[in-house]
Each structure stands twice: as structure tokens, then as C-alpha cells.
């Protein structure tokens, strides 16, 4: 069954040969894009949807979320807004609530957040473990995530659980915990930050995950300067996420590397950190992605549109750069930007992920910040909004 979405006033494709197409149409067939071009030349299809001049773009690719959790951290947020600093130790509060929740509660919570994201145009979403922090609960949260998110990352090395010895905990993460989660995950991650895992321990974790065939990601340079970015580049991580505090040599290391700098503006705002230096990274030639980092502690939003608007209004990114970073950039950070079924792009053979805005151009994402502009969403060819 083929659907032609026609009458698109402005179509952002992210495909270099196509660019932005005006008066455009896209044909979705099964879960793939079958055709992209001018409305007047669109082939005949089974179903015809005229979007009457609205703008369309690939669905958001949210490459960084922590959505397998239970509990609430409103009080911690309120304390922070009254001047308390963000501390990684808050993660332990969510660990306690997550361990106490049933599988059904965790799955329902994850489903609810994914649905919330999809309703706002997110069509491809990564999520992580990291609120289990023992073998049983890391494996359980990985299994639950595997059924409900597009990609799953093992983040046993999120925090050393209270009372545990750090060396023994790293042994556990690299041994029994990795064995237990490996069937459910594609990626391995580590929080390399003072108060979490230092460079040597983070590197050990990354080596163990790479040995197991997992792709690598790193949480780095979130709360202060540190070794995370350079470690990620050295170990060939697909992405280093946060990048809030960067030295010139961190930026230099990213430039020319295959490691994407994934910026999390909602997290920077919610933790009252400075905003990540997007302009510096882009001007130097680094690849930048934007993601929500939705989690109950440091960034409780599923809104990629909010991240795009913040990136434009406060981080010096152009609308085009921000939209690319939240679609194709996220896809590159997940290594899903090439080949059949690629996401974050609209070209023949890409996944049929289309986001139509109730606006004439993507500029409205920043021009009308906070306004819910999602008008229609197709995810893998299925109309979900
Ligand atoms: O990406 N940096 C570490 N992990 C999360 C925070 C999780 C939390 O506070 O619960 C983050 O910000």
C-alpha cells in the first residue's frame, strides 16, 4: 500500500542531492520512502494526503534518553531552581524507585513517554538502562527497553550504587552485568565524570563493551571539563553526549573524528549549566547532534522541538543546522544514517518517517517557540498522528 503525501510547501530532506524541495510530495510504501520530488510529478498511489502547503521534514531522531525508570524527582528540581547544584547522586533516588517497580509499571511508563515523544514528531528513539545498577535490574530494564525503543544502550556504569566498592562494581559491570544485558542492547555507555567513573575505569568499561561487540557511547564533560570527550574519540565511540564544558583540545579531537558531539540543551537548562558551545563546535567542523536526554533528574522533556528552538535562540545555531542535528545528526550518532532503512533523511529507501508541521516552514520551530507545531507523523510508514 503506497501513500502519497502531497502539497508539501517546504520539504527538508537532509539528502545532499535533494536539499529543500518546494511544492513537494513524498511517497511512503510499506515502511520505506519510495519516491521524493515535486507534487506535480508525484506517481499515483493508493492513498492521497494533501497537506496544503505545510512544511515537512524527517521525524526527529532522539539519540539520547533514559526512559526506563519509575518515581519522580520534582522536589530535587525545585531545590535546584532554588539554588542547589545538580548532583549525579540524584540518580540513586531513581534507582531505588525503579528497582521497586514491577515490569508492567516500568513498561507502561516507557510506553507513555515514547507515545508522548512520537506525538511531537519523534520517530526514532534510543533509550538506556542505568537505573538498575545490579545484574537483575539492569537486565530487567534492558529487556523491557528492547521491546519498546528502537535502540537500547547499556549504562550499568551510570553511578556506583551507594555502599558499593567502585573496583568491584566495575568488575561486575564488565562481567556478569554485561553478560546479562548483552542479548538486549546494541550500545554500551559510561558516565565519565568526577563523582561517577574516572578515565581509567571508564576506559575499562568501554573496552569490555567493545570486546562484546557493542557500539560505544560516552557521557562526557557534563558538569565540568574532563577526559570524557578525548576518551570517546580515542576509543572510536559513535557519540559523546553532553559536551557542555569543552577545552580547545576537546574540540580539536572531535573535528575530523567519527565521534558525534551530541548536545543536550534541555539538560543544560534544567541543571543550570551553561549551554554547550554549539557554535564553536560547528565552526571548527565537528558533527553535532541534538537530543532530549529525557530523564526524571536532569532533563524531563521529550520535546525535540524545544531542543531545536533553544539551539537556535540561545546556542547560535541556524534553523537549518539545528533541524539537521535533531534528525540526521541523531541518526549519525546512532550510525543509522546510511544504507537501506536509514533514518533522519528522506530519500528513496530511507525509513518512512515523516513529520508534517502546522507551519509553512521549519523556521517556525524557532520563530514560534513553545507552540505545538506537529500536525501529522508517519513512523515506519504508519500514520501515528
Ligand atoms: O544524562 N549524566 C548522567 N545521566 C543523566 C542524568 C540522570 C539523572 O539525573 O537521573 C544525564 O543527565
Q: Where are the domains of the chain?
A: 2-59+344-383, 61-333
**What CA–CA distance (Å, rounded) separates 133 from 214?**
19
How many other C-beta atoms are found inside a 10 Å radius of the C-beta of residue 360? Answer: 12
What is the per-residue pLDDT across 186-201, written as a single tens digit (0 to 9) for each? 999 999 999 999 999 9
**Whether the CB of 80 sits within 6 Å of ligand 1:** no
How many other C-beta atoms are found inside a 10 Å radius of the C-beta of residue 130? Answer: 27
Both ends of the chain: CA-CA distance in Å? 18
**Whether the CB of 218 sits within 6 Å of ligand 1:** no
Closest-CA residue, ligand 1 atom 5, reads: 298
* Atom from ligand 1 closest to the CA of residue 69: 10
**Whether the CB of 73 sits within 6 Å of ligand 1:** no
Is the full-model pTM beyond 0.95? yes
- 364 labeled binding residue: no
- 320 labeled binding residue: no
* Structural contact between residues 301 and 113, judged by C-beta atoms closer than 8 angstroms: no
**What CA–CA distance (Å, rounded) separates 227 from 119?**
37
Which of 88, 262, 276 to mutate for ligand 1's pocket (most ligand atoms within 8 Å of CB)?
88
Assigned fold of 61-333: TIM Barrel (3.20.20)
**Helix (H, G, I), strand (E, B), or coil: what is residue 46?**
coil
What is the per-residue pLDDT across 18-40, written as a single tens digit (0 to 9) for each? 999 999 999 999 999 999 999 99
**What CA–CA distance (Å, rounded) separates 271 from 113?**
21
Predicted ipTM?
A: 0.98
Length of the chain: 385
Å from CA of 373 to ligand 1 middle: 28
User: 27 exposed, middle or buried (CB, 10 Å; 0-12, 13-18, 19+)?
Assistant: buried
Q: Which CATH architecture has domain 2-59+344-383?
A: Roll (2.30)
What does DSSP assign to residue 337?
S
Query: pLDDT tier at 156 (50, 70, 90 boundaries)?
Result: very high
Amino acid at each position: 500500500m503506497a501513500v502519497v503525501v502531497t502539497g508539501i510547501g517546504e520539504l527538508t530532506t537532509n539528502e545532499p542531492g535533494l536539499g529543500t524541495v518546494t511544492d513537494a510530495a513524498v511517497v511512503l510504501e510499506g515502511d520505506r520512502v519510495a519516491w521524493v520530488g515535486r507534487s506535480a510529478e508525484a506517481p499515483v498511489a493508493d492513498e492521497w494526503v494533501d497537506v496544503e502547503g505545510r512544511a515537512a521534514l524527517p521525524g526527529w531522531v532522539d539519540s539520547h534518553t533514559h526512559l526506563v525508570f519509575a518515581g519522580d524527582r520534582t522536589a530535587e528540581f525545585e531545590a535546584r531552581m532554588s539554588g542547589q547544584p545538580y548532583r549525579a547522586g540524584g540518580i540513586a533516588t531513581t534507582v531505588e524507585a525503579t528497582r521497586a517497580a514491577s515490569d508492567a509499571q516500568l513498561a507502561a511508563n516507557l510506553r507513555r513517554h515514547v507515545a508522548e515523544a512520537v506525538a511531537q514528531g519523534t520517530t526514532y528513539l534510543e533509550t538506556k538502562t542505568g537505573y538498575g545498577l545490579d545484574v537483575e535490574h539492569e537486565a530487567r530494564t534492558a529487556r523491557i527497553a528492547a521491546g519498546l525503543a528502537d535502540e537500547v544502550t547499556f549504562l550499568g556504569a551510570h553511578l556506583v550504587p551507594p555502599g558499593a566498592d567502585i573496583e568491584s562494581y566495575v568488575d561486575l559491570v564488565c562481567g556478569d552485568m554485561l553478560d546479562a544485558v548483552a542479548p538486549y542492547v546494541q550500545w554500551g555507555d559510561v558516565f565519565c565524570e568526577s563523582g561517577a567513573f574516572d578515565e581509567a575505569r571508564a576506559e575499562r568499561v568501554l573496552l569490555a563493551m567493545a570486546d562484546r561487540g557493542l557500539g560505544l557511547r560516552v557521557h562526557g564533560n557534563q558538569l565540568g571539563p574532563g577526559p570524557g570527550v578525548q576518551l570517546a574519540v580515542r576509543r572510536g565511540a559513535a557519540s559523546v553526549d553532553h559536551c557542555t564544558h569543552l577545552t580547545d583540545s576537546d574540540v580539536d579531537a572531535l573535528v575530523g573524528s567519527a565521534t558525534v558531539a551530541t548536545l543536550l540543551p534541555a539538560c543544560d537548562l534544567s541543571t543550570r549549566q551553561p549551554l554547550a558551545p554549539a557554535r564553536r563546535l560547528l565552526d571548527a567542523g565537528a558533527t553535532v547532534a541534538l537530543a532530549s536526554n529525557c530523564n526524571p533528574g536532569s532533563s524531563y522533556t521529550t520535546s525535540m522541538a524545544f531542543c531545536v528552538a533553544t539551539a537556535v535562540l540561545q546556542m547560535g545555531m541556524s534553523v537549518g543546522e539545528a533541524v539537521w542535528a535533531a534528525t540526521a545528526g541523531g541518526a549519525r550518532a546512532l550510525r543509522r544514517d546510511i544504507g537501506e532503512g536509514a533514518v533522519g533523511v528522506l530519500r528513496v529507501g530511507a525509513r518512512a518517517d515523516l513529520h508534517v508541521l502546522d507551519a509553512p516552514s521549519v523556521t517556525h520551530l524557532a520563530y514560534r517557540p513553545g507552540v505545538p507545531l506537529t500536525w501529522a507523523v508517519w513512523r515506519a510508514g504508519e500514520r501515528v498522528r
